[in-house]
Structure 1
Amino acid sequence: MVGVEWISAINRHYGLEIKATKLYDYPTLLELTNYLAEILSKQEKVAAVVTKTQPKIERLVPQPQLTTTTSPQVNTSEIKQVLKQKLADALYVDPSEIVEDQKFIDLGLDSIVGVEWISAINRHYGLEIKATKLYDYPTLLELTNYLAEIL
């Protein structure tokens, strides 16, 4: 669990999407540091190329006209109910026992059940959310708002 939290913090800090399983590939601090340095140096090279070529591309490629379209309204209440029911199922509790602003960890959600729950959410909505998002959005209300944004 701590490893997942640590990788999640690294990902947020550097804007990466490293999976927690990389800790098994790079089991020492030195190995992980070298791996991160390699990834970050590649990103810097790509960013430098993009920065240099972007003005040229903008001059050569006509910019599309933006049109405003209204996206269908997402029902956050419905999302919250689906999440609550699926969480209750994963924790083997009644949905009424789920406190919407209580942290998942305090509700009894561990990393293994979290992965199972996120898989159920992904199947329901046709998404590919990583279980580490539970650390970014640690309550039912926060996760509901996140899903409302991406749906």
Structure 2
Amino acid sequence: MSFPVTNPAETGTPVTFEVIRDRMVDVFARRLGVGPAQIDVDQYFNDFGLDSVWALALATELEKWLGIEVDAAALWYYPTIAEFSQYLVEEYESGGQAA
């Protein structure tokens, strides 16, 4: 995964839907070996080949990056980059656990 270790809030970067979405697009593009423009944020994760191992790795990196708990199972409840990004920003803003 390619998330920076530093929480974006620590660098003064607001944690917005766009920041999370764009970071996830970059991760998926690198993982799939395609350009970011080829990643459809409304396409289902399983269409990208997301499996439980990748989901756990992604959730772990998101936890480190955002500083909140992220349950890998949430990737199936919010099955697109757009939906999951919105979910994460709401959880981040509420200070809650994204589980």
- Fold agreement, TM-score > 0.5: yes
**Structure 1 or 2: larger helix share?**
1
Counterparts of 1:1-150 in structure 2, within 5 Å, are: 74-150=15-91
1:92 offset after TM fit, Å? 4.3
**% identical equivalent positions:** 33
Q: Kindly provide the CA deviation profile for residues 96-117 of structure 1, in whole angstroms up to 9, marking residues without a partner as x.
A: 2221000000111111111111
Higher relative contact order (CA 8 A, sep 6+): 2
Cα distance in 2 for partners of 1:145, 1:113 equals: 20
Please give the TM-score of this superposition, normalised by the length of structure 2.
0.69
Query: Alpha carbon RMSD of aligned pairs, Å?
Result: 1.8
Distance 1:140 1:101, change over 3 A: same
Superposed displacement of residue 119, structure 1: 1.2
TM-score, scaled to structure 1: 0.47
- Higher radius of gyration, 1 or 2: 1
SS in structure 1 opposite 2:64? helix
Q: Which runs of 5+ in 2 are unaligned?
A: 1-13, 93-99
